[in-house]
Amino acid sequence: MKKALTAALAATLVLTAACTVIASPLQFDGKVQYQHRFNTKEGAADAIENRWKFILNGKAEDFAKNMKLYFRMSAESLNGDTQSSRDFNSFPGQDDNDLNVVSFLDQFGIEIQNAGWNYKIGRQDAFIGANGLIYDSTYGIGKHIFADGITVTGKSGVTSISATALQLDQYGHKDPKIYAVAASYNPSKDLTVGTTLVKLNGENFTTDKKFWDVNSSYNFNSKLNIYGEYAKSDASTYNKSYVYGINYDVDKKNSLWTCYSNVERSGNIVDNWSTTTYDNNAKGIYYGFGHKFDKSTTLNLFYSSMKKIETVGSVPAGTKFTSFRSTITYKF
């Protein structure tokens, strides 16, 4: 799959659908989010950081039979003590000094639904592994964070299946490609088990890698859920990652969660980058609390206590670092 061809296909479909879209009203939703962080790291000064994030999602339902058009616009502004590095969500494809990002279109394409299967074609985010352990770009902002390709989801008998073929748009010519297949099923009403297979064609940025993953979750009741996931790549060293955790709904407005993660350097898609839901080259524990003020407004509190697994540059193995984050989100 050629990145240019895929992007051109998605753009062509968007443009050729324009007349029909005018006849079919557009629908919008989105969110405005403010986050405050207080970070510490051994051997470095404490850091206070702030982020504003804006996301506007658009879609046109039924502009053709079983098809809809999707697109997204986004913006982000960072400020604080560590403005020289994007510690909020450092991700390949972001400029370390680019503190204000505005993307007119950072995701766009079409979705096709047919016989219980959904086909998403165009520029999109990716979440690989039941908990985003292997790859997660869903929190990103900016067109170069995302990838061009196709994601297929559906069900075959009792098995839920997803397949992804994407080319990243972060490193210039010959960007890496990701191919992934995941399957899961429910042996009982409350138990889910699954597996994921991933192939990375590294091209000129990173070496080729293959991953396999097993995961499971169990609902004790309507309030309490536990989960775990283990992944391993075929890299020769530092090739494992795992996470296990608990989610608990106190009531309809309040929730608690905690998890322990260990992600080695080659345990996610790109070495030494947190292209995962968790911290790369780090192990430790996360705590979270969520409160719903109403159906539109939420408050989330987060605390992590981590330590480095491997020495990288001037940061030695065992270096401890923490982060406390408070986030207000308004959805519309």
**pLDDT tens digits in sequence order for the chain, 332 residues long:** 444 444 444 444 444 444 444 445 889 999 999 999 999 999 888 889 898 999 999 999 887 889 999 999 999 888 887 544 455 555 665 555 667 778 889 999 999 999 999 999 999 999 999 999 999 999 888 878 889 999 999 999 999 999 999 998 866 566 789 999 999 999 999 999 999 999 998 765 667 899 999 999 999 999 999 999 999 999 999 999 999 999 999 999 999 999 999 999 999 887 656 689 999 999 999 999 999 999 999 999 999 999 999 998 888 999 999 999 999 999 99
Output the CA–CA distances (angstroms, integers) from residue 250 to 232, 257, 288, 325, in the order listed. 34, 10, 13, 21
Cα dihedral sign, 295-332-56-59: positive
In the numeric block, which tokens belong to residue 100?
């204000």
Tokens for 139, please give them. Answer: 């929190």
CATH class of 3-331: mainly beta
Task: Please tell me the distance from the alpha carbon of residue 102 to that of residue 116, in angstroms, as a whole number.
Answer: 36
> How would you class 271 by CB atoms within 10 Å of its CB: exposed for 0-12, middle for 13-18, buried for 19 or more?
buried
Q: Which residues pair with 122 in a beta bridge?
A: 109, 149
Could you give the 3-state DSSP secondary structure of residue 120?
strand
CA distance 180 to 196: 7
CB 217 within 8 A of CB 203: no
- What's the confidence (pLDDT) of residue 171? 60
Quickly count helices (H) and strands (E) in the chain. Answer: 2, 18
Q: Identify the pLDDT of residue 19.
A: 45
**What pLDDT sits at residue 304?**
97
> In this predicted structure, what is the pLDDT of residue 275?
82
> How many Cβ atoms sit within 10 Å of the Cβ of residue 45?
9
What pLDDT score does 117 carry? 97
> Kindly report the CA angle at 40 between 34 and 46, in degrees rounded to 5?
85
pLDDT of residue 273: 64
Using CA atoms, how far residue 183 sits from 69, 131, 147, 256, in Å, is 27, 13, 22, 28
Provide the residue ranges of all domains of the chain, joining segments of one domain with +: 3-331
Per the listing, tokens 């345990």 go with 267
